[in-house]
Structure 1
Amino acid sequence: MKVLNCLALVAALVFCLLPDAASAKPVLVATVDISSQTMTVTRNGAVVDRWKVSTAGAGYRTPTGRYRPTRMHRMWYSKKYHNSPMPHSIFFRGGYAIHGTGAVSRLGRPASHGCIRLHPSHAAQLYAMVRKVGPAGTSIVITR
């Protein structure tokens, strides 16, 4: 019985000393600057990509803040907006996502219903990067 209590104590101490995954520094950070309509992607602090985006147009809003991906879909169809295709979707807050768009001529200026739109090839690249490091290793930062 003493051996079991001792093992339980050791296990509890080891668990307490492990770094908390939620507080760990993310490996991948996708920073969206709404004012410049750009996304900068960094890995371990080094810039790896910078792309044009479209965020919320007039009458809509893109939420600001720091998020982790909550779910990902290689292809998603918007239930709210006429079954519109959302390739390589990375959802980060409710129905808000980063995803590819066919409206590439509108990138670089506000045009969405609140999501963050990317060129389809850039959305695929980001999706692959997030899958590689995982949601716990990814941070999405949205600023004005």
Structure 2
Amino acid sequence: MRLKLALLALAAFFASIGLAYATANIHIDLSTQTMHVDSSEGSYAWPVSTARAGYSTPRGSYAPTGMERMHYSKKYHMSPMPYSIFFRGGYAIHGTYATGALGSPASHGCVRLSPGNAKRLYEIVQSEGGSISITGAPPSGGARYARAHHRNAARYASLRHGRHAHAMAYAPIRHSHRDTVRGWQAEPFAAPYY
């Protein structure tokens, strides 16, 4: 009887090691805005976007709680979330079409990937399962935008409101093909239409 229990315990131990090995490990580093994935199919490192200033991506360890090939966010204007892997309530890892923002904080809290990488991750988690860990702190200050400073700030403010228009600081709105870059390139020195 003891031998059977010992063998059963040993079999359970090795089974748990096998299950732990088969699960893909997904690590998101908020500091570097990167995701590292270790799976039985290989290792990957991808840029991500996590929460921008005013929002947060939860830190901790999670297991996937649901998956949807295409989800639309009811909270954020039916925004598409391809290859969503939910891990905490409404938080998910998903694809984004705003790939230019990858590598810096840009989301409302989800972890965003390029659509191709999101599809690959979705397939890995679908076949192996996954464990998700999120660590680090978001880059300080998030995205920063340059602010224009003028010596004559009051003058520029009055120009925006139509007072004291000066030819060098104010150009009337024109509606022509030259209002586009291509139009200007075609006729850079043509007289403006008013």
- Give the TM-score range, shorter chain: 0.7 to 0.9
For CA contacts below 8 A with separation 6 or more, give which structure has more relative contact order: 1
Identity among equivalent positions (%) equals: 53
Q: Deviations over 1:111-137 (max 9, x none)?
A: 00000000000000000000111x3xx
Say which of 34, 38, 61 aligns to 1:66: 61
Say which of 30, 37, 43 aligns to 1:34: 30
Say which of 80, 92, 100 aligns to 2:95: 100
The CA RMSD measured in Å over matched residues stands at 2.6
* Runs of 5+ unmatched residues, structure 2: 137-194
* Runs of 5+ unmatched residues, structure 1: 1-9
Residues 26 and 139 in structure 1, CA contact (< 8 A), matched pair in contact too:
no
Q: Deviations over 1:74-105 (max 9, x none)?
A: 00000100000000000000000000001000
Q: Which has the larger radius of gyration?
A: 2
Number of corresponding residues: 131
Following TM superposition, the consecutive aligned residue runs of length 4 or more in structure 1 with deviations greater than 2 angstroms are 17-21, 24-27
**Matches of 1:96 and 1:26 in 2, distance apart?**
25
TM-score for the superposition, normalised by structure 1: 0.80
Residues 52 and 118 in structure 1, CA contact (< 8 A), matched pair in contact too:
yes
Say which of 5, 9, 12 aligns to 1:18: 12
Higher strand share goes to which structure? Answer: 1
Residues 29 and 43 in structure 1, CA contact (< 8 A), matched pair in contact too:
yes
